[in-house]
């Protein structure tokens, strides 16, 4: 017979929900975008706690990589800028990237497992920056969070994150809460090199250098090498600048090398292989496979053009 409550033999109904483990939400993913209606990141203390979690996740990612070479390889394997044609507007005053962090260029299905942690950090930084902008926060913490975002985004070559962040930092935060001279030079240096190398706009790069009164001999030398199509000097400078600036120089490297190879094609009938590889800063196999060099290799000599018999 049924007992009270409808259970057989006076047994209380089982509680299947109690046997389920509570869902463990990723603290970075649990927070939503302020632009999508989540207002939690408008609170200053919440922003600071969230930033701490972001840094912890980033440090875990670095620790898991182990060796420096493996860490650099993982950075290189996370390319979020390859297939998206959208480019940030140079007139934008908002620091939000054009890409939705929940739908980056690389979907979750295509992001390698060993770099997903880094992708999560970039998405979380987008949310944090939106919160800082929406809450109109202008202080040391805002600068710190933005610098972290810019540096990381430059390393993974994600201009949709670092370019608008640089503009907001310089146009909105700096006038109200000054950065140190070292920080200012760093950020302006990134802006100038990004403008010259990625956006291929030397005139605007020189204008930005003048506007913000940048004093950086290496940046000046890079601009000079670009203006004179001097790939040999450009390649030498790429090895001398820090890792972040070297990443920005990579945007111009292919075009500069191809210009060098065209110069070789016009000026020489043949050259020593070693001389060509040193000047192009690339091995013969890469020159043929990646740069489309169709010249003939004859022992230790590269035949560029053959003189027709009389």
Return the structure tokens found at 266: 């016009």
pTM listed for this prediction: 0.77
Domain final position from 179, 203, 229: 179
Among 4-8, 31-35, 186-190, where is mean pLDDT lowest? 4-8
33, part of any domain = yes
305, part of any domain = yes
199, part of any domain = no
184, part of any domain = no
Which domain covers residue 304, as residue numbers? 268-310
Question: Are 174 and 34 within one domain?
Answer: yes
Q: Which residue has the higher pLDDT, 94 or 298?
A: 298
247, part of any domain = no
Question: Are 136 and 33 within one domain?
Answer: yes
Most trustworthy range by pLDDT among 14-18, 68-72, 220-224, 286-290: 220-224
Question: Are 175 and 52 within one domain?
Answer: yes
Question: Which pLDDT score is estimated for 116?
Answer: 75
Phi-psi category of 292—alpha, beta or left, where left has phi over 0 and alpha has psi -120 to 50?
left
Question: Are 170 and 275 within one domain?
Answer: no
Q: Which residues contact 165 (CB under 8 A, 6 or more apart)?
A: 95, 129, 146, 149, 150, 153
Percent over 90 (pLDDT), the chain: 64
Q: Are strands 270-272 and 301-303 parallel, antiparallel or unpaired?
A: antiparallel
Cβ pair 291, 257 in contact under 8 A: yes
137, part of any domain = yes
125, part of any domain = yes
Domain final position from 129, 145, 179: 179
Number of domains comprising the chain: 2
Question: Are 160 and 306 within one domain?
Answer: no
Domain final position from 179, 210, 242: 179
64, part of any domain = yes
């Amino acid at each position: 017979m049924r007992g009270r409550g409808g259970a057989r033999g006076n047994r209380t109904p089982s509680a299947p929900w109690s046997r389920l483990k509570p869902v463990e939400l990723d603290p970075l993913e649990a927070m939503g975008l302020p632009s999508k209606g989540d207002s939690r990141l408008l609170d200053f203390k919440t922003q600071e706690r969230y930033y701490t979690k972001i840094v912890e996740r980033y440090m875990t990612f670095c620790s898991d990589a182990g060796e420096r070479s493996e860490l650099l390889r993982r950075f290189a394997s996370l390319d979020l800028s390859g297939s998206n044609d959208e480019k940030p507007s140079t007139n934008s005053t908002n620091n939000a990237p054009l890409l939705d962090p929940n739908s980056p260029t690389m979907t979750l299905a295509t992001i390698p497992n060993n770099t997903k942690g880094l992708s999560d950090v970039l998405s979380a930084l987008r949310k944090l920056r939106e919160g800082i902008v929406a809450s109109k926060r202008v202080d040391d913490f805002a600068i710190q969070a933005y610098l972290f975002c810019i540096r990381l985004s430059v390393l993974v070559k994600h201009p949709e994150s670092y370019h608008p962040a640089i503009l907001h930092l310089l146009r909105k935060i700096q006038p109200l809460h000054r950065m140190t001279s070292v920080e200012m030079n760093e950020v302006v240096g990134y802006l100038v090199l990004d403008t010259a190398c990625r956006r291929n706009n030397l005139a605007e790069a020189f204008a930005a250098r003048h506007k913000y009164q940048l004093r950086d001999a290496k940046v000046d030398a890079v601009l000079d090498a670009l203006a004179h199509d001097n790939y040999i000097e450009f390649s030498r400078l790429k090895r001398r600048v820090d890792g972040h600036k070297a990443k920005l120089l990579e945007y111009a490297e292919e075009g500069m090398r191809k210009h060098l190879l065209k110069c070789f094609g016009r000026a020489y009938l043949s050259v020593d292989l070693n001389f060509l590889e040193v000047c192009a800063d690339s091995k013969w196999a890469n020159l043929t496979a990646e740069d489309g060099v169709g010249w003939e290799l004859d022992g230790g000599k590269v035949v560029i053009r053959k003189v027709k018999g009389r």
